Structure 1
Amino acid sequence: MKEEFQNYIDYHKNKGGTGKLFKFELVEYKPGFLKLKGFFNSETLNPVGTVQGGQINSMLDDVTSLLLIYESKGTIYPNSTNLHSIHHRPLFEGEVIVTAEIIKKGKTIATIRGEAFSKDGKLAATLIHTALIMKSE
Structure 2
Amino acid sequence: MTGERTNGFWDAVDGRAPMPTAARTLGWTLIQASPERGEIEVSFEATDDFLNPAGTVQGGFLTAMLDDTMGPALAATLDPGLYGATLELKVSFLRPAKPGRLVGHGRVVHRGSTIAFLSGELLDASGQVVAVGSATARILGTG
TM-score strictly above 0.5? yes
| Change beyond 3 A, Cα 1:77–1:117 | same
State the number of aligned residues: 135
1:21 to 16, 20, 25: 25
Separation in 1, partners of 2:141, 2:10: 21
| Change beyond 3 A, Cα 1:74–1:56 | farther
Separation in 2, partners of 1:19, 1:118: 18
CA RMSD, aligned part only?
1.9
Alpha-carbon shift at residue 2 of structure 1 (Å): 5.2
For the Cα contact (< 8 Å) 1:12–1:19, is it kept in 2?
A: no
Alpha-carbon shift at residue 12 of structure 1 (Å): 5.9
- What is the percent sequence identity of the aligned residues? 25
Q: Which amino acid aligns with 1:60?
A: L
The runs of 5 or more residues in structure 1 that have no matched partner are: none
What is residue 130 of structure 1 aligned with on the other side? 136
| TM-score of the aligned structures, taking structure 1 as reference length | 0.88
The runs of 5 or more residues in structure 2 that have no matched partner are: none
Q: Deviations over 1:22-56 (max 9, x none)?
A: 22222222221100111111111111110111111
What is residue 117 of structure 1 aligned with on the other side? 123
